Homo-oligomer: A and B are copies of this chain.
Amino acid sequence: MQNYGTILVIDDNEAILTALKYCLTSTFEKVMTLTSPESVISLLEQEQVNIILLDMNFTLGVNSGQDGLMWLQAIRKRHPEIPVVLITAYADVSLAVRGLKRGAADFITKPWDNDELVRKLKDVLEASDDMATLDEVEADHIRRAIDRCHGNLTKAADMLGITRQTLYNKMKKLQ
C-alpha cells in the first residue's frame, strides 16, 4: 500500500495534537484533528476517515480511561469498519485489555516513539488489507455458532438467521 489515506487524531491537549500532526503528516494524505470527541460522529458522517487515533482521557483530573472507552464504543457502534488506535499516558494492563476487548486496533502509551507510532498505524491499515472472502467469514461464523450451541444444529441455524436446511448445505460445502 502506497497511500495511507486520512487519519483523525483526537486529543484534548493542543501541544500533543500539534506534535502528532507533525509526525503523521508525512505518512498520511490528510491529518484531521479534534480536541474533543463530542463531534466525532457527525464528522465521520461527512469525511471519509481511514483510521482514528484516540486519546483516553478528556475529563480534567480523571485518568481512568473511561472517556476513551466510551468514545471507542460509540465510534465502533456506528463505524465498525474504521480502525481505532488508543493512546494514553496512564496505561496499565487492565486498561489495555479493556480497550482491545472493545475493539481497539492497537494500544499505544505516551510518551510515544514517532517511528514506532507510524509503524503501528501502518501495520493496522495493512492488516485490514488482507480481507477474508465472504465465504471465509461465513464459514468461521458458522463454526462459532455450532460450537456455541454445543452441536445443536437447529438452534445454531436459528441463531444464524438461516434455515436448518441451509445450514446443512453450507456445512456440506465446508467438507
Query: Are B97 and A144 interface neighbours, CB within 8 A?
Result: no
Query: Are B162 and A134 interface neighbours, CB within 8 A?
Result: yes
- Number of identical protomers: 2
Chain A, 127-160, CB within 8 A of any chain B CB: 128-129, 131-138, 140-148, 150-151, 159-160
Q: Which of A13-21, A53-61, A99-107 contacts B (4 or more CB under 8 A)?
A: A99-107
Q: From known contacts A135-B161, A137-B141, infer whether A128 and B100 are also in contact, taking CB-CB under 8 Å.
A: no
Tier of interface size on chain A: 35 or more
Cβ–Cβ < 8 Å partners of A142 in chain B: 134
Query: Are A147 and B101 interface neighbours, CB within 8 A?
Result: no
Contact string, A103-138, partner B, CB cutoff 8 A, digits 1/0? 000110100000000000000000011011111111
Report the minimum CB–CB distance from A13 to chain B (whole Å).
21
Roughly how many angstroms separate A80 CA and B144 CA in the complex, as a whole number? 8
